[in-house]
Amino acid sequence: MNASVRSQDHPAPEFERAASAGQHRDRTQVQKGPGSFDVEAVRAQVPILARRIHGKPLVYLDNAATTQKPQAVLAALDGYYRGYNANVHRGVHLLSAEATRAHEQARESVRRFLNAPAAREIIFVRGTTEAVNLVAQGFARPRLKPDDEILITAMEHHSNLVPWQMVCAQTGARLKAVPFSDAGVLDLGAFDALLGERTRLVALGHASNALGTIHPVAEIVRRAHARGVPVFVDGAQGAPHLLADVEALGCDFYAFSGHKVFGPTGIGALWVRGSLLEAMQPWQGGGDMIRTVTLEACTWNEIPYRFEAGTPDIAGAIGLAAALDWLSAFEPEAVRAHEARLLAYATHRLGALAGVTLVGTAPEKVGVLSFTVEGVHPHDVGTVLDREGVAIRTGHHCAQPVMERFGIPATARASFALYNTLAEIDALTAAVEQAQQVFRRV
């Protein structure tokens, strides 16, 4: 946690000031100038990357599932639990005041990361999944009528599909999905045709977790707003790689998960445009989301607290803020250029292997590369790769409609982050070749 969280009368403990100073030194080692990117300096800040797996260096390529944590995040979590662990908002003692200040400063860090207008528009949630459910139940459900429509894409993660199915079942509304091409590109002509008089909400991912496709969110928002339709963006895959600028995107809701942006698990954030947030209903009841309670009724707390029932994940919010500050310290264009090199190189190396088919070849992608290996089930590919120290994801990636679209049960998926290297892609390629050799002998 940065020392600026605290006021002058309550300075940070000495160990925390030292940790903050150390974080600053680490960042300056990486930022050598505009456009520069020192991946080895980044890797030095992420302790787990030094591990060996089955006697071999860890090659961690499962970043779309969860990212590894830099020392800055580990220090922030440790600093909270060691130095000022207390519940927030209601305590009058010093530890509670310090914890509350850090928690609310974390909300400001999220606001800054998203370029949102106001911190009060930021709601802490367990992750993107809870954010989608909150919007489905707190915003959509009270407004939907029979035969109203919610429009999604056919390549959504289950978290941005199932909650809408549930709210449609509850209200009699209908769910429609925009198809995509063989390359994994959204059909905007079909989007225009499906966006109709009964459309009450558009919900889509910033980028596909299964294919890596980056959707033209700003253009989709423009078309939806022309018909008065609000837009929810699942930023779980967008926030780690793209500028998650809600003002530039123009959307009305944006959600992301902490563990995908180098922060802790079990924490995330939802931004809601202020005018819509004022009209939303609480989804969960309990402590801290109320102003007054009698045995007969209650009144809600002010925004955003009315949407944050119970004791929040205080450490998670503080760790999330540290992760966002760490990520934001890098030159964005340098990071994107580095990740683009990784994706291009991996696409070239794996695409050149006989028997390997790349799934999802959109021209605009984040660092996600899904593939199949002829004659080898993806789970078997993943098992062989693990023995080589290479961690990837195999399965349907919580995107079964995508698999159905391609007529396959699953894929192997390598996904990249700013701390990955070209040498690790060489290791991935060699491990895939090893899997092919193993199953030729079976």
Sign, CA torsion 378/379/383/386: positive
Judge whether 159 lies within some domain.
yes
Whether 307 is in a domain gets the answer: yes
* Residue 5's pLDDT band (cuts 50, 70, 90): very low
The residue type found at 363 is P
Of the ranges 104-108, 293-297, 299-303, which is most confident? 104-108
Residue 29 reports pLDDT greater than 70 = no
What pLDDT band is residue 17 in, cutting at 50, 70 and 90?
very low
**How much is the pLDDT for 44?**
98
Q: List, in sequence order, every residue forming a beta bridge with 411; answer none if it has no partner.
A: 395
Q: Which residues have a Cβ under 8 Å from the Cβ of 399 and sit 6 or more positions away?
A: 155, 156, 157, 158, 208, 209, 210
Q: What is the pLDDT of residues 395-415, one digit of tens each?
A: 999 999 999 999 999 999 999
For residue 199, being part of any structural domain is answered with yes
Percentage of the chain beyond pLDDT 70 is 91
Q: Which amino acid is at 356?
A: V
Q: How many CB atoms lie within 10 A of CB 58?
A: 17
Q: Report residue 12's pLDDT band, with 50, 70 and 90 as the boundaries.
A: very low
Q: How far apart are CA 185 and CA 182, in angstroms?
A: 7
- Confirm whether 398 is a catalytic residue: yes
pTM of the model: 0.90
Q: If pLDDT is split at 50, 70 and 90, which confidence band does 20 have? A: very low
The catalytic residue among 168, 251, 298, 398 is: 398
Q: What is the pLDDT of residue 364?
A: 97
pLDDT at residue 28 is higher than 90: no
Give backbone dihedrals phi and psi of 175, rounded to 5 degrees, phi first: -105, 130
Please report, for the domain that includes residue 151, its CATH number. Answer: 3.40.640.10
User: Does residue 417 belong to any structural domain of this protein?
Assistant: no
Q: Is residue 368 in a domain?
A: no
**The pLDDT value given to residue 32:** 41
Convert the pLDDT of each residue in 185-235 to its tens digit.
999 999 999 999 999 999 999 999 999 999 999 999 999 999 999 999 999
Instruction: Find the helix or strand (DSSP H, E) in which 101 lies.
Output: helix 94-114
pLDDT tier for residue 35 given thresholds of 50, 70 and 90: low
Asked if residue 24 is part of any domain, the answer here is: no
For 312-349, what is each residue's pLDDT tens digit?
Answer: 999 999 999 999 999 999 999 999 999 999 999 999 99
pLDDT above 90 as % of the chain: 83
Domain encompassing residue 153: 99-328
**311 located within any domain:** yes
What per-residue confidence (pLDDT) applies to 174? 98
pLDDT over 60 at 45, yes or no: yes
In a 13 Å sphere around the CA of 83, the CA atoms on its Cβ side amount to 25
**Is residue 207 within 8 Å of 155, Cβ to Cβ?**
no
Is pLDDT above 70 for 365? Answer: yes
66-116 tens-digit pLDDT: 999 999 999 999 999 999 999 998 889 999 999 999 999 999 999 999 999
Q: Is residue 259 in a domain?
A: yes
pLDDT band at 442 (very low <50, low <70, confident <90, very high): low
Which pair of structure tokens corresponds to residue 109?
A: 């860090």
Indicate whether 33 pLDDT > 70. Answer: no
**The total number of structural domains that make up the chain:** 1
pLDDT band (50, 70, 90) for residue 125: very high
Which pLDDT does position 299 carry in this prediction? 84
The DSSP line for 39-85 is HHHHHTT-GGGG-EETTEE-EE-BTTT-----HHHHHHHHHHHHH--
